[in-house]
Amino acid sequence: MSFCQCACCSSIRNVGLAGSDSAEEIKDTGISELLRMLASVPDFRKEKGREYQLSFILAVCLVTTLAGAKNYREIATAAAHIPQGMLRLMGAEWNYFTRRYEHPRKTTIWLSITSVNAAELDAIAGAWLLSQARKRREDDGTFTWEIAIDGKVMRGAWTDENGQVTLFSAMLHREEVTIAQVRVPDGTNETTQVEALAAKCAIREGETVLATLDAAHSSRETGELIGGKKNWDYLITLKTDKPALYRKAAEKIAAVLEKPPNDIMTESRRGRTKVWSCWITAAEGIDYPHINQVACILREVFNANNEKISKEVAIQITSAGPGKMTAADVNRHTRNHWGIENKSHYIRDTVYREDDNQAYSGNGPQGLAALHNLAIGLFRLKGIRSIKETTELIHLDLMRAVQYLIT
- pLDDT tens across 196-215, in order? 999 999 999 989 999 999 99
Domain span holding position 16: 7-117+361-405
pLDDT at 158 over 70: no
Q: Return d(Cα 89, Cα 65) in angstroms, integer.
A: 17
Q: Which residues of 263-274 are buried (b: 16+ CB within 10 A; e: fewer)?
A: bebeeeeeeeee
pLDDT digits (tens, 9 = 90+) for 159-184: 555 467 889 999 999 999 999 999 99
Please tell me the total count of domains within the chain. 1
**pLDDT averaged over every residue in the chain:** 89
Confidence of residue 103 (pLDDT cuts 50, 70, 90): very high
Residue 70 lies in a domain: yes
Residue 11 is assigned to a structural domain of this protein? yes
Task: Name the band, by pLDDT with cuts 50, 70 and 90, for residue 50.
Answer: confident
- Which helix (H) or strand (E) segment holds residue 403: the answer is helix 402-405
H/E segment holding residue 149:
strand 144-158
Q: At what angle do helices 387-396 and 364-381 cross, to 10 degrees?
A: 100
Q: Does a structural domain hold residue 101?
A: yes
Burial class (CB in 10 A: 0-12, 13-18, 19+), 166: buried
Please check whether residue 58 lies inside any domain of the structure: yes
Residue 379 lies in a domain: yes
Q: Given a cut of 90, is residue 69 above it in pLDDT?
A: yes
Q: What is the pLDDT at residue 143?
A: 82
Instruction: Let me know if residue 149 belongs to a domain.
Output: no
Contact 146, 336 (CB under 8 A): yes
